[in-house]
Chains A and B, each alone.
Chain A
Amino acid sequence: GQSLEQPSEVTAVEGAIVQINCTYQTSGFYGLSWYQQHDGGAPTFLSYNALDGLEETGRFSSFLSRSDSYGYLLLQELQMKDSASYFCAVADNAGNMLTFGGGTRLMVKP
């Protein structure tokens, strides 16, 4: 089976940096993904890590440590529009089946 743990809620101020952690226990592991979902919207893909290390895409970066079964999403220069829920998800085989964490609600304050 799979289980993923991430904080339920994080609050930060505009312009700051925030890190959302994700730890997982899985019977198989292929990669760790991150998705963003605004209220009332569909989840949208942010990043994917299959190997250890940091992947950077603009203001967002994602990190993976396979030996620690741990990853995080780093959001820099926070903007109000970054207020959303963020989900980590583990792909446990090449068939792309994902198991999602419960989501972290990020609130960005002025």
Chain B
Amino acid sequence: DVKVTQSSRYLVKRTGEKVFLECVQDMDHENMFWYRQDPGLGLRLIYFSYDVKMKEKGDIPEGYSVSREKKERFSLILESASTNQTSMYLCASSPFHEQYFGPGTRLTVT
């Protein structure tokens, strides 16, 4: 079975803090994704990576950056957390069309 793990299920941070969310997949997938999920808005793509050190912006990249130094690991970075970044963050990996999601990190910024 494909396994996608995320570093934390729940996280509380203060405004202005730098936040790291980590995602690891064990299936050697080329593609990895970061989404945020808010009620009524579905999942919105923040960043996408199709190879080590390669990334593309998604629909809402502002305020976020990413790092992919190893194939299995894709990190999302909030350089200076703000309250409007309070959300559920979901990581996914994919060999092709089917995406496999991690359990999510519920981030609260106070």
A residues whose Cβ falls under 8 Å from a Cβ of B: 4, 8, 31, 33, 35, 41-45, 48, 50, 87, 89, 91, 95-103
Contact = CB atoms under 8 A, between A and B. Distances in A.
B45 A98 contact: yes
B31 interface: yes
B90 interface: yes
A96 B104 contact: no
4 nearest CB pairs, A to B = A42-B101, A100-B42, A100-B43, A102-B42
Contacts, number: 58
B43 A31 contact: no
B98 interface: yes
Interface of B: 31, 33, 35, 40-45, 48, 50, 56, 58-59, 90, 94, 96-104
Contact of A43 (B44, B59, B90): B90
A99 B101 contact: no
Among B48, B50, B101, B102, residue most surrounded by chain A Cβ atoms (within 10 Å) = B101
25 contacts: A8-B40, A33-B99, A35-B99, A41-B103, A42-B90, A42-B102, A42-B103, A43-B99, A45-B100, A48-B97, A48-B98, A87-B43, A95-B50, A95-B56, A96-B94, A96-B99, A97-B33, A98-B33, A99-B45, A99-B59, A100-B44, A101-B42, A102-B40, A102-B41, A103-B40
Contacts of A8: 40
B98 to A, nearest CB: 5
B20 to A, nearest CB: 20
Contacts of B97: 31, 33, 48, 50, 91, 96
Contacts of B50: 95
